[in-house]
């Protein structure tokens, strides 16, 4: 897949990459994650698949919309992720104390479900348990409950990726999941994941 300019058969895919930009992602985790995000976005755009790149703290942060092409401007925006987790991204949201997983996953899934596509995948990158802000601390934003409701609707398929050691929590929340103890392996893991999704979408 990574060497192709088109996919070998027609399938109606749509992808959202949703990336944890809380403070615990500082350092190597966010550096490897934004590189993997750029690589994946480049490939999906090249083969003509719908995709967006979002981050999350206490709110969703948009780095690439579905409507945008993968331009230098988009690349530069995604490259601001390391500064975002340091609260130093010029013009950014810069609220790295929070990772409101439940609220932001629900918002991302709603956006994705509205896209005209047969196979919609929400891929969530996380390195820790939710730390909700006061605005989204109610039981209605519990991540487990949110994911259960999304799965019941059968509009969006979710995949949780645990970044770094001690991230087995993704197995508790996400039916489809993978733990990547060494974040330097993330680009390879992403290549294998997306190739498997495109070749075997109905297994998710």
Most confident of 137-141, 157-161, 165-169: 157-161
DSSP state of 131: B
Residue-level pLDDT at 48: 87
Question: Is the per-residue pLDDT at 7 higher than 60?
Answer: no
Could you give the dihedral angle defined by the CA atoms of residues 19, 28, 194 and 15, in that order, rounded to the nearest 10 degrees?
A: 20
Query: Two tokens at 187?
Result: 């680009």
Report the distance separating Cα 142 and Cα 4, nearest Å.
40
Q: Which residues lie below 8 Å from residue 148, measured CB to CB, with a gap of 6+?
A: none
- Give the tens place of pLDDT for each residue, 34-66: 999 998 988 888 888 999 999 999 999 999 999
Residue 133 dihedral angles phi and psi, to the nearest 5°:
-75, 170
pTM, to two decimals: 0.93
- Give the tens place of pLDDT for each residue, 117-144: 999 999 999 998 898 999 998 899 999 9
What SS3 class is residue 19? Answer: strand
Residue-level pLDDT at 2: 46
Q: Tell me the average pLDDT across 170-191.
A: 94
Q: Which residues lie below 8 Å from residue 137, measured CB to CB, with a gap of 6+?
A: none
């Amino acid at each position: 897949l990574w060497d192709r300019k088109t996919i070998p058969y027609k399938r109606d895919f749509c992808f959202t990459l949703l990336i944890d930009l809380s403070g615990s992602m500082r350092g190597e985790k966010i550096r490897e994650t934004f590189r993997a995000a750029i690589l994946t976005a480049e490939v999906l755009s090249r083969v003509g698949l719908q995709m967006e790149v979002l981050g999350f703290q206490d709110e969703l942060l948009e780095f690439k919309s579905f409507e945008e092409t993968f331009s230098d401007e988009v690349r530069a925006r995604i490259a601001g992720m390391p500064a975002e987790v340091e609260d130093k991204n010029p013009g950014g949201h810069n609220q790295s104390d929070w990772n409101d997983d439940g609220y932001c996953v629900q918002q991302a899934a709603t956006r994705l479900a509205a896209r005209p596509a047969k196979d919609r995948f929400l891929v969530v990158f996380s390195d820790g348990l939710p730390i909700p802000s006061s605005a989204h601390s109610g039981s209605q934003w519990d991540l487990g409950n949110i994911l259960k409701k999304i799965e019941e609707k059968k509009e969006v398929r979710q995949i949780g990726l645990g970044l770094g050691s001690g991230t087995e929590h993704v197995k508790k929340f996400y039916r489809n999941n993978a733990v990547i103890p060494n974040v330097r392996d993330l680009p390879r893991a992403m290549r294998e994941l997306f190739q498997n999704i495109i070749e075997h979408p109905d297994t998710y």
